[in-house]
Amino acid sequence: MMVDKCSIYKYILTGLRYLKYNKPRYNSKPSLTSITFDRDDITGYNLIAGPSTLLPYCVGKGAIEEVIGVLEKLEKDEYAEYLIEYYKDGLERFGKNWVYADITTVLIGLSSIIMPENYLEVGVRRGRSLAMVLSKSPECNAVCFDMWVPNYAGMDQPGPDHVTREMKKFHHSGKLEFINGDSHETMPQYFKQNPNVYFDLITIDGDHSPNGASMDLTHALPRLKVGGAVVFDDIVHPSHPSLITVWKNYIVSDPRFISYSFTDLGYGVGFAIRKY
Ligand SMILES: C[S@@+](CC[C@H](N)C(=O)[O-])C[C@H]1O[C@@H](n2cnc3c(N)ncnc32)[C@H](O)[C@@H]1O
C-alpha cells in the first residue's frame, strides 16, 4: 500500500493532539465535557454545556427556592435572615420572572449539574456556600481555605467545628478538609503537597482585595478540571469596586473560559466553565 508523506504527517499530528489533550489533567471525567476531546481545532465541542445552558439552574425561581431550603436548615445570622426575606419578596412580586442570582443560586445550580467529586473553596465563613454544594453532592470531597478573620463583616465567625456540624445536616459523607490560615500561603503549600489533585468546582470568596483575589485565582485556576466551573463572588460589591476588573482580567478575557456575570442586583457573581 502506498502511503504519502502528507498522510504520515497528518497521522503524527493527530497522535500528538491526542496526547496533548489526554494527558492526566484531571482525576476523572467531569460532567460538562463532551465525548469529543481529541482535536485542538474543535475546542467549542469540548463541552456539552456552557453558561447559557446552565443559567436556568443557576438564576431565578427554581434555584432561589432551593437556596431558601438550604438556608432554612443552617443556623442563621442576621445576613442570612435578611436574604431569605429578600428572596421571598422577589419571588412574591415577580414569581418565575424574577431574574436574580448570587453565589448561592449559582453554586446550587452548578452543583446539581456537575455533581462535583472534588470542590475547592476559598472563604468559608459559616458554611453557607459550602452547604449549597454539599446539599447537592453529599459525597463530594471538599478542601476549604479560610483564615477565620474574627468578626468578619461585623458578624460572628464560629470556625471549622461549627461548619463541620452544619454540613452533617446535609448527610455529607465525603472528606471535609479545612486548611486554616492565609490562603495566599496555604494554597501553594497545599498544591505542593498534593500535586495530582484537580477540582470540578472552585469558589473564590476569601480575600476581597484586588491583589488578594488575583493571587487566589492565580493559584487555584490551574487546578480546575477542563469542563469544571469557577465561581467568583461580589463582582459589583460597592466596598470592593476592583473585583469586577479582577474577574474580567482573569476570566472574561481568557479564551480558556466561557463566562457569565450577573450584576443586576445584590453584590453580583460570576461563573465560568473551563473549555480547555
Ligand atoms: C465573604 S466570606 C465567605 C462567605 C462564604 N463563601 C459564604 O458564601 O457564606 C470571606 C471569608 O474569607 C476569609 N478570608 C479573608 N481573607 C482571607 C485570606 N487571605 N485567606 C483565607 N481566608 C480569608 C474570611 O475569614 C471569611 O470567612
The pTM (predicted TM-score) of the whole model is 0.90
Q: Where do the structural domains in the chain lie, given as residue ranges?
A: 116-274
Using alpha carbons, select from 266, 244, 262, 263 the residue that is nearest to residue 253.
244
CATH number for the domain whose boundaries are 116-274: 3.40.50.150
199 φ, ψ (degrees, to nearest 5)? -125, 145
State how far the Cα of 186 lies from the Cα of 195, in Å rounded to an integer: 14
pLDDT tens digits, residue range 22-57?
A: 333 444 555 798 776 566 666 778 889 999 999 999
CA dihedral of 138, 197, 27, 124, whole degrees rounded to 10: 30
The pLDDT value recorded for residue 190 is: 98
State how far the Cα of 241 lies from the Cα of 224, in Å rounded to an integer: 26
pLDDT tens digits, residue range 60-113?
A: 999 999 999 999 999 999 999 999 999 999 999 999 999 999 999 999 999 999
Averaged pLDDT score across all residues of the chain: 90
84, 107, 125: which to mutate for ligand 1, most atoms within 8 A of CB?
125
State how far the Cα of 143 lies from the Cα of 118, in Å rounded to an integer: 8
For helices 210-220 and 183-193, angle between their N-to-C axes, nearest 10 degrees: 10
How far does CA 163 lie from the centroid of its chain? 19
Residues within 6 Å of ligand 1 by CB: 103, 123-125, 128-129, 145-149, 152, 182-184, 205-207, 212
